[in-house]
Chains A and B, each alone.
Chain A
């Protein structure tokens, strides 16, 4: 029997983690505008946590969610309200708010037991609209559509004041998330998820309780999204319902599709790729395009994202991670290039 991590070199993992934490120092040495790059990387990190959770739900369990921005919003608002209005310490909120968001995951997971494919997509999409509306309606706590100011994260006497501090907070979260998610998918739980994805009937036949595992999947995904939401609320200091749009849910799915559905590293790569593209590449492209026609930034952004998603679905359904695997195998077997095997 093969070991759990037989197919990869574990040696690289500590190196990668060290690289993640050395990156800000490297950036600081290289450029003066490192704070902006750190800000961009922070957004990418928050989205990585969420997309890893979404990938566990959509990529591993095969349940579509078109309303993940709702879980993100619930986590963000819960933590903002608990810390700033309820007086809960941030350290506790970092644990409690994601767990409560996970319970919301169970709420949507329960009707989802009877649904599949497109019906589930529609139900989660409806859930997204309803949550957004509810946040506005509870204006006593959330200040409606005006948005909410949020305090800085504060852990054991240390306050995270700027993007530099936040980077270490967020990327600790990312590393934890990735490690936990990878342990999870290699465990009994992850195998059950994948069995359900591949065939519900067959999974049921070998004794996997569909209802239980689907609920667990929704719960875990909700917890991750809530965790990302807490970090988002406290590091961006301002949250408003405009941000948690249906389009954001779609962007999350673009991230996992571009990264590669059904792989944890894929979700991380996808989030990084899309956020870098959005913040670094698209502004340049927009300036170039603006010499020909006048366009709005949002339109360019959605046009490019739409095109990227479409092209990936048609030409590279396994995403960036799949591409990397192909390249890796290609080099391993270099002189004997088995082109046919990958077509």
Chain B
């Protein structure tokens, strides 16, 4: 019994770390959805691009500048964030501007096409290899009472919490944050009140790419770096729907809960029930369909009245 409990709590802890990645991706498209009502299917690919840029910078900095250790990671991280800002501005120009007032179907397909393009471009530029991203924290493991957590996981959870707190303060206290809230409530009224709506949209896309890039950089050392890590972005959709699509706390809780469900089903449940092993890959999607059938608004969502 105690073994089972230890196993379960171990899985919960790793699930939270995985869930924080989902939460960061989900946070990115929740921001975009809230402000512009565009559902960004390319969020996972933004994460992948961020991870690749960071990897590229790390290897360049150590090879060309001869800087190693903590500074190498720090400079690469900053470089990747700078890239994310520029990339966000480009995406705003390419996706957001031309697709205003288009039907949902076109917008979804446009973001999917962007995700296909990004994956193909990265695969062409970086080559069809799988890279291994080293972690600034090495392979260190902290253990409490038989439960082991890698330092990387601790850092992931820490970063996610810090980011969420920063966003919360930004939305509640700063001028731009309030402007964003106003824009997401009613863009026309916001514009009439003198809020530069276009700039707000640009800022939203920058934030979304920033969050995705941070998520990608955090995720890369946990898994191997190849173009398939973009698919994790797809799994963030069940997370967001579980929490309530369009709700920021929903994105975070949904992500964490989904991460825990996934690790537990891959671990303890698969060990005890053979048939669970068969459906491990699709657990997030089963959760998604179950949530959509039972309570489409998720845990934190508010039922919306459809505008005619």
Contacts and interface: CB of A to CB of B under 8 A. Distances in A.
Given A114-B292, A296-B128, A313-B102, A303 B120 contact: yes
B166 interface: no
Given A293-B124, A306-B120, A310-B114, A127 B289 contact: yes
Interface string B89-117: 00000000011001011101110111111
B285 interface: yes
Chain A binding site: helix, strand, loop or mixed by DSSP? helix
Interface in A277-316: 293-296, 299-300, 302-303, 305-307, 309-310, 313-314
B114 A306 contact: yes
Contacts of A303: 116-117, 120-121, 124
Contacts of A307: 113, 117
B124 A201 contact: no
Contacts of A114: 292-293, 296
A250 B282 contact: no
A302 B109 contact: no
Interface stretch (A21-29, A91-99, A116-124, A172-180): A116-124
Contacts of B282: 126, 129-130, 133
Interface string A117-154: 11101110111011001001100000000000000000
B261 to A, nearest CB: 14
B171 to A, nearest CB: 23
A43 interface: no
A313 B110 contact: yes
B219 to A, nearest CB: 20
B39 A310 contact: no
A250 B112 contact: yes
Contact of A126 (B99, B121, B123, B288): B288
A257 B109 contact: yes
Contacts of B286: 126, 130
A111 interface: yes
Interface string B6-38: 000000000000000000000000000000000
Interface residues of A, number: 45
B215 interface: no
B128 to A, nearest CB: 6
B237 interface: yes
A309 B113 contact: yes
A118 B115 CA distance: 16
Given A118-B104, A127-B289, A130-B285, A299 B39 contact: no
Contacts of B58: none
Interface in A244-274: 247, 250, 253-254, 257, 261
A327 B224 CA distance: 51
A317 B292 CA distance: 30
A123 B292 contact: yes
Contact of B109 (A115, A119, A295, A313): A313
B278 A137 contact: yes
B105 A122 contact: no
A78 interface: no
A302 B113 CA distance: 9
Nearest to A117: B104
A111 B106 contact: no
B241 to A, nearest CB: 7
A123 B292 CA distance: 8
A240 interface: no
A337 to B, nearest CB: 26
B128 A111 contact: no
B123 A299 contact: yes
A121 B237 CA distance: 11
Contact of A129 (B109, B281, B308): B281
B117 A111 contact: no
Contact of B124 (A129, A133, A295): A295
Nearest to B117: A306
B202 interface: no
Contacts of B116: 247, 250, 302-303, 305-306, 309
Nearest to B286: A130
B259 interface: no
28 contacts: A114-B292, A115-B296, A118-B104, A119-B296, A121-B108, A122-B238, A122-B288, A122-B292, A125-B285, A126-B282, A126-B285, A129-B281, A129-B285, A136-B278, A137-B278, A137-B279, A199-B308, A247-B116, A250-B116, A257-B106, A261-B105, A296-B123, A296-B124, A299-B128, A300-B124, A309-B116, A310-B110, A317-B102
Interface of A: 58, 62, 64, 111, 114-119, 121-123, 125-127, 129-130, 133, 136-137, 199, 201, 247, 250, 253-254, 257, 261, 293-296, 299-300, 302-303, 305-307, 309-310, 313-314, 317
Q: Which 5 A-B pairs have the closest CB atoms?
A: A126-B285, A306-B116, A303-B120, A306-B117, A309-B113
